[in-house]
Amino acid sequence: MPDLSRRSFGGLLGGGAVSAVAGAASPADAAPAERPFRARTGAAAKTRPNFLVILGDDLGWADLSCYGAPHIKTPHLDRLARQGVRFTDAYSGSATCSPTRFSLYTGRYPGRTAGGLAEPVANRSQGLDPDHPTVASLLKEAGYATALIGKWHCGWLPDHSPTKSGWDEFFGNFGGVLEYFSKLGQLGTYDLYEGDAEYRDLRYYTTVLTERAVEYVGRDHRRPWLLNLNFTTPHWPWLAEGDEETGAVIAARIRAARTPAEVTRALNHYDGGSVAKYAEMVRSLDAAVGEVLAALRRSGQEENTLVLFASDNGGERWSYQWPLSGEKSLLREGGIRVPAILRWPARVDGRQVSHEPNFSPDWTATLLELGGARPDPSYPLDGTSLAGYLLRGEEPPERDLFWRVRANRALRRGHWKYYQDADGTDHLFDLAADLREQADLGPDRPELLAELKAAWERIASGLLPYPG
């Protein structure tokens, strides 16, 4: 198969993706159709933008109706996509929760820091070094107000906290998972905090976070702001509004647990959930985002607020990922390709779709450039700013996208993907022709496979080794 340019690859892949989505949408939603992304050059914002970065938790690539979900309607996120740009080839920085958050907060590969080697962070000894620059600390130095609402998952008190890493305000949970009503988390203890103090609220967690985010965006801000809004929805346990009785059963199991493994088993909720329950949780996430966006509109800040919505990694168990293979924890497409939507009315036109590959650290670099903040030269970024592509009509950056987890390795260059499975077997996939990663072309293209493997190893040689 001849090599394709990244732009022609985007056209091939994007056409199929858009057709699939249009087929799942109503005629009113499908018209007018998305058009290929094109920067609105010549425009300039009078002031620096606010940044509202919203993460879903374990939300699969096709779990939104604007990405083709046949059984889940997400009108608010669909509207956000119509008002901005929908990315078909967006990736998380890793295949699990906390490493991706490390990559988004620092703009670097998770393996640059000791805390990022945990997949995921699971005890009090692990976390993000408070001395490491973050998107929040760098924007704060540039004059931004900063807040994080929701899931942190980059370490616990007393050593780790958003307020130790550049966020002025924190309201949320330190761990990676909690029972939605009791707020009992993965350490078996209560895990809802305001700053460094416990905050008691036993209502459904998505509702609690939404209320706090609505309050924040509705304030009379005197300077530009960054809000990281990290929902736990639709991460297990499989609970929606009104499921207090099921939540109480899980909470009782957590209280009775004698080991961390038993706590995790209770929260994993292997005896619960369903496709219908998962769809209900995704709809609640969509409704929550809708409430926050409505508050932003009422505040008069909508025009010059850049909203970025994405997932922290691929879906699992009940998620709809077709046609991708794999899921959370794996570096197959289903574990790392995520929905991503950007809206910025002041600078970016709506009803657009982009097929350019990008991953979490790119957004860190982009926000820093748009906010007038400079990266710390002692901690060089691994992400590449997309500002030139989004605003000035520049060609998208040409570079390799790299991932490393304990069990897998992956690198994407254009439409080619190098993947090594848990058995140590190397594979080569052409994502333009085989998005499901079923046709291994390594035996047919051994030189290309060796080239991509060598590129992966060059990057990996500069990262910290896994302990043990």
Distances (CA, A) of 467 to 108, 124, 132: 19, 16, 20
Q: Which residues pair with 76 in a beta bridge?
A: none
pLDDT for the residue numbered 16: 36
**Confidence check: pLDDT of 341 > 70:** yes
More confident residue, 11 or 353: 353
Q: What is the mean pLDDT of the chain?
A: 93
Distance from C-alpha of 102 to C-alpha of 90, rounded to nearest angstrom:
17
In 3D space, the residue among 298, 296, 299 whose CA is nearest the CA of residue 309 turns out to be 296
Residue 87 host element (H or E): strand 85-91
On whether the CB atoms of residues 283 and 74 are closer than 8 A, the answer is yes
278 pLDDT higher than 60: yes
Q: pTM of the full predicted structure?
A: 0.93
Question: Exposure string (b/e) for 159-197, b if CB count within 10 Å is 16 or more?
Answer: ebbbbbbbbbbbbbbbbbbbbbbbbbbbbbeebbbeeee
pLDDT in tens, 209-221: 999 999 999 999 9
Position of tokens 């249009």? Answer: 22
Determine the Cα–Cα distance for residues 128 and 159; give it in Å rounded to an integer. 9
Rounded to whole angstroms, the Cα distance separating 335 from 316 reads 8
What are the tens digits of pLDDT across the range 418-449?
999 999 999 999 999 999 999 999 999 999 99
Residue 408's pLDDT band (cuts 50, 70, 90): very high
Tens of pLDDT, residues 123-178: 999 999 999 999 999 999 999 999 999 999 999 999 999 999 999 999 999 999 99
* Tokens 């976070």 sit on residue: 209
Query: Considering only CA atoms, which of 312, 354, 362, 417 is closest in space to residue 88?
Result: 354
Q: H-helix or E-strand containing 144?
A: none
Q: How far apart are CA 241 and CA 384, in angstroms?
A: 39
Q: Quick one: 25 exposed, middle or buried, by C-beta within 10 A (0-12, 13-18, 19+)?
A: middle
pLDDT digits (tens, 9 = 90+) for 102-125: 999 999 999 999 999 999 999 999
pLDDT at residue 46 in the model = 78
CB atoms within 10 A of CB 31: 10
pLDDT of the residue at 468:
82
Say if residue 455's pLDDT is above 50.
yes
Half-sphere exposure of 74 (CA within 13 A, CB side): 31
Indicate whether 356 pLDDT > 70.
yes
- Checking if the pLDDT of 305 tops 80, the result is yes
Calpha distance 11→88 (Å, rounded) = 11
Position 42 scores a pLDDT of 81
> Where does residue 67 rank: exposed (0-12), middle (13-18), buried (19+ CB within 10 A)?
buried
* Structure confidence at residue 171 (pLDDT): 98
The DSSP line for 402-449 is: EEE-SS-EEEEETTEEEEE-TTS-EEEEETTT-TT-----TTT-HHHH
Pair 86, 299: CB distance under 8 Å: no
Continuous H helices in 54-122: 75-82, 97-106
Q: Are 393 and 387 in contact (CB under 8 A)?
A: no
What are phi and psi for residue 446, nearest 5 degrees?
-65, -35
Amino acid 10: pLDDT? 38
Helix orientation angle between 97-106 and 360-370, rounded to the nearest 10 degrees: 30
- C-alpha separations of 62 from 29, 59, 70, 299, 316 in Å: 17, 8, 9, 31, 12
Q: Band of the pLDDT at 27, cuts 50, 70, 90?
A: very low
Residue 28 has a pLDDT of 36
Q: Locate 214 and state its tokens.
A: 């609505």
d(CA 119, CA 124): 14
Show the beta-strand stretches assigned E in 166-291. 169-173, 193-194, 197-198, 225-230
Torsional class of 127: left (φ above 0), alpha (ψ -120 to 50), beta (otherwise)? left
Q: Cβ contacts of residue 369 below 8 Å, gap of 6+?
A: 385, 387
pLDDT in tens, 46-91: 799 999 999 999 999 999 999 999 999 999 999 999 999 999 999 9
Q: What share of the chain is helix, strand, coil (3-state, %, to 5)?
A: 35, 20, 50
Per-residue model confidence as pLDDT tens digits over 289-301: 999 999 999 999 9
